[in-house]
C-alpha cells in the first residue's frame, strides 16, 4: 500500500517517532564512542589528548562526509541511506571491543563517523516528504529532542561496563542501532521517497546540483549552524569550570546549572515546535528567541547575579534558545530548492561539525587565560549575530516553486 494511502495522522506519528528515535541513536553513538575511549583509555595506553584527537577525527570525517551523504540521499533515497548509517554507527561501537591502540581506534572512529554523517540529510529528507506540512514544526522539535535524549542515554555504557565488561558493553550498546536499521529499512509503507521532488524539480528547472551551495541563503544557513555549534558545544564543555571560577560555586553546583540549561533547551524545543506550526514568519520567532537568550546571558557575563539566581536564569536562557530550533529548521527547509533536501541539509548541518571543532578550543584557550566571562560575552555576540542572520536568510531565500512535500 502506498504511504499516502495511510491515514495522515497515523503516518505522521509513526514517521516522527521513528526519525526522532533514529536521531537519538546518532547522538547516543557519538557520545558512547567517546565513553568507550575513556573506559579503555589506560588499558589501551591512550592519553586524554589522544581521546581528544580521536574525537576530532570523528567530527572531521563526519563533517566532510555529510555533504556527500546528502548527495547519496538524493540519489538513492533516504530510507536505505539512513538504515546503513544506523548499522555503521552501531558496528563502530561494537568494534571498540577489539581495539587496543590509537591507530585501531582511529580507524573505528572513521567507521562511526561515516555512519553518523547520514542522519541530518536523511532525517530531514524523510520528514519533509512524509509529514504533513502543518505538523513539520512539531516534527522538527521531536527530532531535536530525540538528539538531546540520545546524549543523555550514552552514559549507560559505564553501567554496562561494570555489569558485563568492556566487550559486553560494546556489543549490547551496538544492538539498538542494528535493530533500528532493520526497522527503518522495513518502513517503505510510511517513509515517503522524497526523490519524487527531484523529478518535479527537473521539470521546473530548479537548481539541484552543486551550484545550489553558492546561493546566498544556503551559505548563510551554513554560517548560522557554524556559529550555533561554536556557542552550544563550547558552553557545554567549558561552562562548568567557567562558573566555578566566576561565581565561586562548587563543581557539582555548576554541573547542575548546565543540566538546568540543557533541560530548559529541551523544553524550549518542544514549545518551539508549536510556534513553528502556528506562524509564517519563522525568522521572527528564531531571531526573537536568540535575542532573548542573549539578553538573559548578559547578567551572567557581567556577574550581576547571585549563584542561586543562576538556575532560573539559565533555565530561561536555555528555553529561549531551544525554542528557536524548529523555526530554524523551517527556515532551512524554505531556503531549500525542490528536490534538494538531502544535499542542502547535509551541507548546512555539516556546519555543526565545523563549529564543534572551533568552539571548545577557543573557549578552552580563554579558560587558560583565566577569562571565563569572555566565554559568555562571545555567546551574547553570537546570539545577536545569528538573530540578524536569520532575518537576512529570509530576504535572500528564493520562493519554493514546487508544492510543499
- Judge whether 321 and 265 are in contact, CB under 8 Å: yes
Q: How many CA atoms lie within 13 A of 332 on its CB side?
A: 31
74 pLDDT higher than 50: yes
DSSP SS3 for 251 = helix
Architecture of domain 206-396: Up-down Bundle (1.20)
Question: Which range, 131-140, 198-207, 243-252, is most confident?
Answer: 243-252
Instruction: Please report, rounded to a whole number, the percentage of residues in the chain having pLDDT higher than 90.
Output: 34
Q: How many whole angstroms separate alpha carbon 351 and alpha carbon 370?
A: 28
Range from 212-216, 237-241, 288-292 carrying the lowest mean pLDDT: 212-216
- Grid cell 530550533 is found at 325
Cell of 45: 595506553
Higher-scoring residue by pLDDT: 56, 316: 316
Which pTM was predicted?
Answer: 0.76
402 pLDDT higher than 70: no
Q: How many whole angstroms separate alpha carbon 41 and alpha carbon 25?
A: 24
Higher-scoring residue by pLDDT: 111, 270: 111
Q: Which CATH number fits domain 3-194: 3.40.50.300, 3.30.70.100, 3.40.50.1110, 1.20.1250.20?
A: 1.20.1250.20
* Residue-level pLDDT at 2: 44
Q: How many whole angstroms separate alpha carbon 231 and alpha carbon 243?
A: 16
Average pLDDT, the chain: 84
- Judge whether 179 and 89 are in contact, CB under 8 Å: no
DSSP SS3 for 96 = coil
Cell of 25: 541513536
Range from 84-98, 233-247, 287-301 carrying the lowest mean pLDDT: 233-247
- Judge whether 337 and 201 are in contact, CB under 8 Å: yes
* Residue-level pLDDT at 209: 56
At residue 121, φ and ψ (nearest 5 deg) are -60, -40
* Residue-level pLDDT at 153: 83
Tens digit of each residue's pLDDT (9 = 90 or more) over 194-232: 665 555 544 444 455 556 677 788 888 889 989 988 888
Cell of 365: 584557550
Tens digit of each residue's pLDDT (9 = 90 or more) over 357-377: 788 778 878 888 889 999 999
* Residue-level pLDDT at 266: 86
At residue 150, φ and ψ (nearest 5 deg) are -65, -45
Q: Where are the domains of the chain?
A: 3-194, 206-396
> Which candidate, 139, 137, 124, 84, places its Cα nearest to that of 342?
124
* Residue-level pLDDT at 112: 95
- Rg of the chain over Cα atoms, rounded to whole angstroms, equals 21
* Residue-level pLDDT at 197: 54
Query: What's the full length of the chain, in residues?
Result: 405
Is-same-fold flag (3-194; 206-396)? yes
Mean pLDDT of 324-343: 79
Q: How many whole angstroms separate alpha carbon 367 and alpha carbon 238?
A: 8
Amino acid at each position: 500500500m502506498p504511504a499516502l494511502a495511510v491515514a495522515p495522522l497515523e503516518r505522521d506519528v509513526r514517521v516522527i517517532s521513528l526519525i526522532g528515535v533514529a536521531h537519538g541513536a546518532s547522538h547516543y553513538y557519538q557520545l558512547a564512542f567517546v565513553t568507550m575511549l575513556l573506559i579503555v583509555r589506560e588499558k589501551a595506553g591512550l592519553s586524554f589528548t589522544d581521546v581528544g584527537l580521536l574525537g576530532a577525527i570523528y567530527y572531521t570525517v563526519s563533517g566532510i562526509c555529510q555533504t556527500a551523504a546528502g548527495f547519496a540521499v538524493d540519489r538513492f533515497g533516504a530510507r536505505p541511506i539512513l538504515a546503513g548509517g544506523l548499522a555503521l554507527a552501531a558496528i563502530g561501537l561494537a568494534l571498540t571491543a577489539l581495539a587496543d591502540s590509537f591507530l585501531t581506534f582511529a580507524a573505528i572512529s572513521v567507521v562511526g563517523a561515516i555512519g553518523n554523517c547520514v542522519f541530518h540529510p536523511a532525517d530531514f529528507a524523510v520528514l519533509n516528504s512524509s509529514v504533513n506540512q502543518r505538523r513539520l514544526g512539531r516534527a522538527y522539535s521531536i527530532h531535536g529532542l530525540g538528539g538531546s535524549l540520545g546524549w543523555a542515554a550514552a552514559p549507560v555504557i559505564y553501567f554496562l561496563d561494570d555489569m558485563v565488561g568492556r566487550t559486553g558493553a560494546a556489543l549490547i550498546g551496538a544492538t539498538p542501532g542494528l535493530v533500528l536499521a532493520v526497522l527503518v529499512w522495513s518502513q517503505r509503507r510510511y517513509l515517503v521517497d522524497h526523490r519524487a521532488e527531484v523529478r518535479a524539480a527537473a521539470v521546473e528547472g530548479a537548481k539541484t546540483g552543486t551550484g545550489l551551495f553558492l546561493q546566498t541563503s544556503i551559505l548563510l544557513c551554513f554560517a548560522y549552524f557554524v556559529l550555533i555549534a561554536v556557542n552550544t558545544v563550547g558552553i557545554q564543555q567549558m561552562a562548568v569550570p567557567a562558573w566555578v571560577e566566576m561565581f565561586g560555586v562548587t563543581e557539582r553546583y555548576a554541573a547542575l546549572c548546565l543540566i538546568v540549561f540543557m533541560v530548559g533547551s529541551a523544553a524550549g524545543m518542544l514549545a518551539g515546535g508549536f510556534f513553528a506550526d502556528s506562524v509564517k514568519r519563522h525568522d521572527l520567532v528564531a531571531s526573537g528567541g536568540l535575542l532573548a537568550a542573549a539578553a538573559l546571558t548578559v547578567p551572567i557575563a557581567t556577574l550581576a547575579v547571585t549563584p542561586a539566581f543562576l538556575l532560573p536564569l539559565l533555565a530561561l536562557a536555555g528555553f529561549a534558545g531551544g525554542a528557536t530550533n524548529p523555526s530554524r529548521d523551517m527556515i532551512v527547509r524554505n531556503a531549500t530548492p525542490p528536490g534538494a533536501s538531502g544535499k542542502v541539509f547535509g551541507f548546512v548541518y555539516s556546519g555543526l561539525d565545523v563549529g564543534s571543532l572551533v568552539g571548545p578550543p577557543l573557549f578552552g584557550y580563554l579558560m587558560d587565560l583565566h577569562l571565563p566571562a569572555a566565554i559568555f560575552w562571545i555567546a551574547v555576540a553570537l546570539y545577536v549575530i545569528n538573530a540578524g542572520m536569520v532575518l537576512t536568510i529570509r530576504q535572500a531565500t528564493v520562493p519554493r516553486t514546487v508544492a510543499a512535500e
